[in-house]
Every structure is written in C-alpha cells, then in structure tokens.
Amino acid sequence: MTTLADLDTPAALLDEPRMNRAIARMQQRMDTLGVALRPHVKTAKCVEVARRQREAGARGITVSTLKEASEFFAAGFDDITYAIGLAPHRIGAALDLVRRGCRLKVVVDSLAAASALAAATRRGDTGAASGVSAAARADAGGRLDVLVEIDTDGHRAGISPEAPLLLEVGTVLHAAGLLAGVLTHCGASYGCRSAATLEAMAEQERSRCVRAAERLRAAGLPCPIVSVGSTPTALFARALPGVTEVRAGVYVFYDLVMAGLGVCAPDDIALSVLTTVIGHQPDKGWVLTDGGWMAMSRDRGTQAQPEDQGYGLVCDEAGAVLEGWIVNQANQEHGIVEHRGGAKAGADVQGRFPIGTRLRVLPNHACATAAQHQGYAVVDGAAVKARWPRFSGW
C-alpha cells in the first residue's frame, strides 16, 4: 500500500472522505431547494472529481475555459456551460464542440458579442477547416445555447437587470434562435462577514437574476434557464424560487477563505499541500519547509479577512490543525512557518519540528493552490489510494 510517507514533497493531497462529504452536502442542499446543481469544475480540473459530483446527482458542469470544455467533453461530459464572456475569436472553437455533439452553453453580456455569435451561427462557422451548417450541427446532436450574463453585485461582468441593453441583447440572440436564459455569479459574496449578510447576498443574487428573466419573458423572449451561484450563496440561500440551477465550484475542496466566511470548518478542507521541514532559524522561531509559493500559490485571500492565515494553516502529517502555526512567508520553494505569537510562542522549533518532519498545509484558495500542481494524491488517512491528474493551460 502506498502511504503518505512514500510521497515526495511538495505534493497536493486530496482527502477523499472530506471531498465526498462536501459533494454530498452541496447536492443535498440543492435537492432540498429544488434546483439543479451544475458544479464549476475549474477548481479541481479533474475528471475523476467531476465524475463523483455527477454520481451524486449533479446535472451538467460549468467550465472557465474552452480547454476545460474540450477535456471534459472528451471524458464524456456533454452538458457544459462555459461561464466566461465568449470572445469573438473563440466562436469557431465553441461551434466545433457543438458540431461534435456537445450541448454547450455560452455567455455574452454585450451587443457586440451577441451579434458576432448570431452572425457566425447563421454562417455556420466552425473551428474545423470545413464549414458545417446549423442543420448538420443539429444532426450531430449538439446544440448551442446562449445565456445573457447578468450583473447582480457590481463586482465583474454582466448586464444590469434593469438596463435596456438586456432586451436588446436578448432580441438579437432570439432572432438567431440562440437565447436560452440568464446567468449570474455573485462574487461579492466572498466579501461578506456574517451569515445574515450571506443570506441577504444570496437573495440579492436570486432576485436580480430572476428579475432579468422576467423582463425578457415580459418582452416575449424565452428564458428557460435561470442560473445563479457561488459556493457561499449556494449554501446560505434560504429559498430559490425562479431559479433553475445553481453553479458552485470551490465547495468540492473548500479552503481557508471559505472557512473564514463561515461556509465550512478548517476540518472540512479536502485539499492540502504536504511539505517537508528543511531547516530552522531558531532565534526567530522559524521553521523552513519546501512548501513555498510555487506549491501554495501566491494567493493571499485571507489577508482581508479577520484571521489572516498567511500562505496557509499548518497541520501535522495526519491532517490535524496545529493551532497557531501558519506559513507566514513564502519564497518560490521555501515556506516559513511561524507561530502567530512570534518567536516566544514558537520556542524550540528544532525540537518540535526536526528536519525531515512532514507538515500538511491548508490553502487560502483551493482553485489557486490546485493550479500549482499537476495532479492529486488521493488520500484516506495515511493511505494514498490513487493519483488523479489535473489539466492546465488554455
């Protein structure tokens, strides 16, 4: 049996029981709320992880790049929402996925993008060398649906639900037979600081997105899909009338940012980085490890939270949190582990953490930390049960 002791460091560990609990929790919550769950696979970028989400009841997936769409389609996922505004130069590649049988949904939030898409669909553009007609695409079983991105929190992209532009974009898309609904992502939820504000943010995300759908329908335009979501709003929403599906991603691993929001506990976090102690600066109470920012990422997502976790919260090799110890500084291949209380609280670091000691580190932001690794060592206790690859790039 392969065990933690057989792994080189730094290594990304995926605690399978914790992940399975997270998947079950989110699916149960969505089932209770009566909406479909379409997980965002950008966190793990791993086919095996997405399969477990599907087995638990997820319907379709969400991706952040066409590379993800292509990889997951090749692995048998054919209901895919690409949730980033479609750039015109990617229309050919998107239509090529459709031609090959993918039920792809894409997102626009401007007249320019909607018009480019409508024109390309009429022409039958594809990413392949030969042109393929819309009829041929339909023959292949694929279908391109377009969602209008709605801005429900002012934090990124999307059209305001009250803007005249919403109906203009909807009309262009409908004339091309492409309009399928509305989509929003309430990233502002990451800035909430209490359960009450998270609940309010979830309701804001819901109500504004539903309002956009109602405006389209009132104008005689179809809007079957009403897609909302982020991990915090998904878990704090009290009810989701008018919503058809929820997208959430980071819940599959959770992370310290989510723990800081009260969305999970540190013990729920399924992703960690296994590191080895390589030195000390005893006078400063420093423990040097081989887990620097290359292994953790440069994400400092807890910096603005009440409890700044540095570059990560330190656990023993078995995964038990070592209270007070964080990766306080990081160079490319060095982590500097310190006690929050400083050198005095961190006395006798050489005795407590001898060279060769293995420590696990919980990450600030699972999406960013996972992206630093080429795969996961899937662990259950000390056993390494599998190695799952993840993909990267565009």
Q: Read off the amino acid at residue 73.
A: F
State the number of binding residues for its own copies (CB under 8 A).
56
For the residues of 78-130, what is the DSSP string, one character each?
Answer: -EEEE-S---GGGHHHHHHHHHTT-EEEEEE-SHHHHHHHHHHHHHT--SSSS
Whole-number minimum distance, CB 139 to its own copies, in Å? 28
Judged by CB under 8 A, the residue of 25, 334, 340, 387 near its own copies is 334
Instruction: Pick the closest to residue 185 from 113, 253, 109, 255 (CA basis).
Output: 109
Judged by CB under 8 A, the residue of 4, 10, 81, 315 near its own copies is 10
CA distance 50 to 36: 15
Q: Which stretch binds its own copies (CB under 8 A): 128-136, 233-241, 325-333, 379-387?
A: 325-333
**Interacting positions 157-196 with its own copies (CB under 8 A):** 157, 187
**Is there binding between residue 294 and its own copies (CB under 8 A)?**
yes
Q: Which stretch binds its own copies (CB under 8 A): 3-11, 70-78, 212-220, 317-325?
A: 3-11
**Is there binding between residue 394 and its own copies (CB under 8 A)?**
yes
**Interacting positions 340-369 with its own copies (CB under 8 A):** 354-356, 365, 367-368
Residue 319 or 335 having the CB closest to its own copies: 335
3-state secondary structure 224-265: CEEEECCHHHHHHCCCCCCCCEECCCHHHCCCHHHHHHCCCC
Q: Which stretch binds its own copies (CB under 8 A): 22-30, 112-120, 130-138, 381-389?
A: 112-120
Judged by CB under 8 A, the residue of 11, 202, 210, 237 near its own copies is 11
CA distance 12 to 274: 6
Whole-number minimum distance, CB 41 to its own copies, in Å? 12
CA distance 237 to 37: 14
Whole-number minimum distance, CB 149 to its own copies, in Å? 8
154: how many CB neighbours lie within 10 A of its CB? 10
CA distance 378 to 135: 44
CA distance 157 to 164: 16
Q: Read off the amino acid at residue 277.
A: V
Q: Are 63 and 83 in contact (CB under 8 A)?
A: yes
Judged by CB under 8 A, the residue of 15, 71, 145, 151 near its own copies is 151
Residue 286 bridge partners (DSSP): 281
Residue 27 or 281 having the CB closest to its own copies: 281
Judged by CB under 8 A, the residue of 208, 215, 373, 390 near its own copies is 373
**Chain positions contacting its own copies, by CB under 8 A:** 8-11, 42, 64-65, 84-90, 109-110, 112-113, 116, 151, 156-157, 187, 276-281, 288, 290, 293-295, 297-300, 331-334, 336, 354-356, 365, 367-368, 371-374, 392-394
